[in-house]
Amino acid sequence: MKFDINILLKQVAIQKNTTIDNVRIEIQKSIDIAYLNDDKEIKNNFIKLFGNKKPTIEEFILKIISVVE
């Protein structure tokens, strides 16, 4: 299944009564928190999904979608 990230972000913004920019900011905060987390289990899960690289918002969303499908 193909996803248009911009449509997805717009839908979330509408549901949360905010802007796409704010949705992006919140997703980036979540990525940063997970990436910098010292908890071994969280760190290992993050590395399994993304390696040692911090993903972009688009990479993060697409990976999470692929895991849930």
What's the predicted TM-score (pTM) here? 0.86
* CA 37 – CA 30 distance, rounded (Å): 10
State the 10-residue block means of pLDDT for the chain, 69 residues long: 85 97 97 95 94 95 90
How far is the CA of 18 from the CAs of 22, 31, 48, 56, 65, in angstroms?
Answer: 6, 19, 32, 21, 22
pLDDT tens profile 44-60:
999 999 999 999 999 99
